[in-house]
């Protein structure tokens, strides 16, 4: 009899049987229907729901996945599939569907909370926190996540950050991200006793620079996990010799291999004393205005003028360009506090005849507005760890023209690098000018979210392996468990 029934009638029968609670009949009918109409999304969706009702979750997954591959599947399918994955104790798979749930308009806070609960039962608090955070960011009622987030934070590792006089410029986005996920304190004192007190409070102490505070903290009795983040300048001074590296669990570098080589000058066996990982600084591209520029002749140089920034070579490059095309102008944003360097640069500008094309603006507060009429960002540095100012300028659409410092080719594409004054001129005079490509380079290579997630992964790796001090009566020293 079934063979005489049209596919449309079969589908209607399956719907009717399902509504009447005759699930076995409904499943047989929908299976017959799908043999005739294998590309009908609602049919696969119904088959998935019927399988789910009978606890046949793996079959339900297959049906919902097939439904998602078709253009006419019901919008609630992502939520249904997420629900099935949770029944199978696969919260990771469920979380991958959350963005689709949002986009399809079938967001379900209960599923997010259930996924987080699943992660917690599996002793994966970091994943649970990410589920909560995603829910709070997307939900129409974000307040439902406030209490579970705060309850979870209390049980996560306590993290202390030490910045000192070097400042928290590169740490601010990390702090903003982590404060939503962990109990955080930032050191604001100046004495060794205060450092020790905060380290005793923390489960993880993060020293943002491999300098004086890291030297003090790592030479104290070890009571917590210790992370030291090395930027650049510290590797070229004796600070690393004064840090007790065996007490450091992880050294985080942000830049190229030459900075690490400089560190090895002071501590040749550093790789044996501590673990080393590289986490580049990330650029918040969304916070940087993009200007669709045409090729022009205004060159920007952004840096406080110091010998390491190599302004002497920059003037030589500018002199060569001026001989070819006197319409190019160099605009310098940054402080010039070194009297010796100030006298030299002023002297060179005068004797090279560059007074009308080299403009020193001093410290610029609103750098985005200042860059609006510029076309190139030049760097002449003898060394950079990564060059955040360069990357941020690229994100705004400026063409980067970068002196090939040691390790530059580890950070930037070779097309952006120059070795000589002649190559500098070639870069400036080239017809290649692609603002969109410069921004896309930064988005692809150095997105802030990737940096934040790598930092979070590092901290979470200590979550189930806290540092503990053996009981005093055993006479044992601190051990990692």
- Give residue-wise pLDDT tens across range 326-338: 999 999 999 999 9
Cα 68 to Cα 85, 100, 101, 407, distances in angstroms: 15, 10, 12, 46
Average pLDDT score, the chain: 92
pTM (predicted TM-score): 0.86
Structure tokens at 439: 């921004």
Q: Looking at residues 217-240, what average pLDDT do you find?
A: 94
Are 262 and 308 in a shared domain?
no
Whether 278 and 302 map to the same domain: the answer is no
Report pLDDT for 2: 46
Beta strand 225-230 with 204-207 is parallel
**Mean pLDDT to the nearest integer, 81-87:** 97
Would 308 be classed as within a structural domain? yes
Does pLDDT of 469 surpass 90? no
Predicted pLDDT at 166: 79
Task: Say if residue 385's pLDDT is above 60.
Answer: yes
pLDDT per residue as tens digits for the range 254-313 = 988 999 999 999 999 999 999 999 999 999 999 999 998 999 999 999 999 999 999 999
Beta pairing partners, 431: none
Q: Residue 75 pLDDT more than 90?
A: yes
Say whether both 402 and 305 belong to one domain: yes
Written as one string, the DSSP assignment of 171-224 is THHHHHHHTTTS-EEE----SHHHHHHHHHH-SEEEESSSSHHHHHHHTSPP-S
- The answer to whether position 140 is within a domain reads no
Alpha-carbon span 329 to 224, nearest angstrom? 53
Tell me whether residue 67 is in a domain: no
Per-residue pLDDT, 1: 42
434 and 291 assigned to the same domain: yes
Same structural domain, 311 and 407: yes
Instruction: State the angle between helix axes of 41-53 and 23-36 in degrees (0 to 180), rounded to the nearest 10.
Output: 150
3-class DSSP assignment, residue 481: coil
Q: Distance between CA atoms of 266 and 240, rounded to whole angstroms?
A: 6
Secondary structure of residue 479 in the 3-state scheme: strand
The mean pLDDT of 83-101, rounded to a whole number, is: 96
Q: Is the pLDDT of residue 3 over 50?
A: no
Residue 11 lies in a domain: no
pLDDT of residue 154: 94
Same domain, 267 and 330: no
Domain of residue 214: give its range. 156-282+450-468
Q: Is 220 exposed, middle or buried (0-12, 13-18, 19+ CB in 10 A)?
A: middle
Per-residue confidence (pLDDT) for residue 189, from 0 to 100: 81
Verify that 262 and 361 share a domain, yes or no.
no
The model's confidence at residue 202, banded by pLDDT at 50, 70 and 90, is very high
Q: Which two tokens stand for residue 337?
A: 């506090």
Instruction: Name the pLDDT band for 468 (thresholds 50, 70, 90).
Output: low
Q: DSSP of 395-447, one letter per residue? A: HTTPEEEEE--TTHHHHS-GGGEESSHHHHHHHHH-S---HHHHHHHHHHH-B
For the segment 143-187, what is each residue's pLDDT rounded down to a tens digit?
999 999 999 999 999 999 999 877 888 899 999 999 999 999 999
Residue 116 lies in a domain: no
- Looking at the structure, do residues 382 and 244 belong to the same domain, yes or no? no
Residue 195: CATH number of its domain: 3.40.50.2000
Q: Is residue 61 part of a domain?
A: no
Give the residue, 422 or 191, on which the prediction is more confident. 422
Contact residues for 260 (Cβ-Cβ < 8 A; gap 6+): 230, 235, 253, 276
pLDDT value of position 470: 32
Number of H helices, E strands in the chain: 24, 14
Domain tally, the chain: 2
| CA dist., res. 425 & res. 229, Å (int) | 37
Helix (H, G, I), strand (E, B) or coil at 380: coil
Q: Report if residue 102 sits inside a domain.
A: no
Query: pLDDT class for 234, splitting at 50, 70, 90?
Result: very high
Are residues 326 and 348 both part of a single domain?
A: yes
Q: Give me the residues paired with residue 377 across strands.
A: 300, 400
Give the torsion sign (CA, 187, 191, 197, 200). positive
% of the chain beyond a pLDDT of 90? 91
Do 184 and 302 share a domain, yes or no?
Answer: no
pLDDT of residue 422: 97
Residues 6+ apart with CB under 8 A from 114: 86
Does residue 426 sit in the same domain as residue 403?
Answer: yes
* Nearest-angstrom CA–CA distance, 364 and 372: 13
Residue 118 makes CB contacts below 8 A (sequence gap 6+) with: 86, 89, 91, 94
Q: Residues 6 or more apart from 179 whose CB is under 8 A from it?
A: none
Report yes or no on 2 lying in a domain. Answer: no
- % of the chain at pLDDT higher than 70: 96
Same domain, 237 and 300: no
| pLDDT for residue 480 is more than 80 | no
pLDDT tens per residue, range 323-369: 999 999 999 999 999 999 999 999 999 999 999 999 999 999 999 99
Tell me the residue length of the chain: 481
Which among 406, 371, 390 is positioned nearest to 441, based on CA atoms? 390
From 169, 288, 178, 184, select the one nearest 232 (Cα to Cα). 169
Residue 190 has pLDDT above 90, yes or no: no
3-state secondary structure of 117: helix
């Amino acid at each position: 009899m079934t063979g005489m029934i049209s596919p449309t009638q079969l589908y209607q029968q399956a719907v009717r049987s399902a509504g009447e609670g005759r699930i076995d009949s409904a499943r047989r009918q929908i299976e017959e229907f799908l043999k005739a109409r294998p590309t009908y999304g609602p049919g696969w969706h119904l088959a998935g729901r019927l399988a789910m009702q009978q606890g046949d979750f793996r079959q339900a997954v297959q049906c919902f996945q097939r439904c998602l591959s078709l253009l006419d599947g019901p919008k609630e399918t992502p939520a249904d599939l997420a629900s099935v994955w949770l029944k199978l104790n696969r919260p990771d798979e469920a979380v991958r569907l959350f963005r689709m749930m949002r986009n399809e308009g079938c967001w379900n806070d209960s599923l997010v909370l259930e996924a987080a609960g699943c992660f917690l039962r599996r002793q994966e608090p970091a994943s649970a926190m990410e589920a909560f955070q995603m829910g709070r960011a997307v939900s129409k009622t974000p307040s439902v996540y406030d209490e579970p987030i705060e309850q979870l934070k209390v049980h996560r590792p306590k993290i202390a950050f030490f910045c000192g006089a070097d400042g928290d410029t590169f740490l601010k986005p990390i702090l903003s991200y982590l404060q939503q996920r962990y109990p955080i304190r930032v050191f604001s004192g100046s004495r060794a006793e205060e450092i020790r007190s905060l380290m005793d409070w923390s489960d993880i102490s993060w020293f943002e620079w491999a300098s004086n505070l890291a030297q003090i903290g790592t030479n104290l009795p070890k009571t917590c996990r210790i992370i030291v983040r090395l930027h650049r300048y510290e590797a070229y001074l004796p600070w690393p010799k004064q840090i007790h590296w065996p007490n450091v669990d992880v050294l985080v570098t942000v830049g190229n291999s030459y900075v690490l080589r400089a560190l090895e000058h002071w501590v040749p066996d550093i790789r044996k004393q501590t673990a080393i990982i590289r986490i580049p600084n990330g650029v918040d591209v969304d916070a940087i205005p993009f200007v669709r520029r045409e090729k022009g002749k205004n060159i920007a140089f952004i840096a406080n003028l110091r010998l390491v920034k190599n302004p002497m070579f920059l003037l030589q490059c500018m002199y060569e360009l001026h001989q070819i095309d006197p319409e190019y102008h160099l605009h310098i944003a940054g402080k010039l506090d070194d009297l010796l360097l100030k006298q030299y640069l002023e002297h060179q500008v005068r004797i090279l005849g560059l007074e009308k094309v080299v403009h020193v603006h001093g410290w610029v507060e609103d750098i985005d507005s200042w860059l609006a009429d510029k076309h190139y960002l030049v760097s002449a540095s003898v060394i950079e760890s990564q060059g955040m100012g360069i990357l941020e300028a690229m994100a705004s659409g400026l063409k980067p023209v970068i002196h090939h410092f040691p390790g530059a080719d580890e950070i930037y594409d070779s097309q952006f690098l120059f070795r000589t004054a002649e190559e500098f001129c070639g870069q400036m005079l080239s017809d290649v000018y692609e603002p969109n490509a410069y921004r896309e380079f930064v988005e692809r290579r150095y997105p802030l979210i990737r940096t934040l997630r790598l930092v979070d992964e590092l901290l979470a790796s200590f979550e189930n392996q806290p540092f503990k001090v053996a009981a005093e009566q055993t006479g044992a020293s601190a051990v990692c468990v």
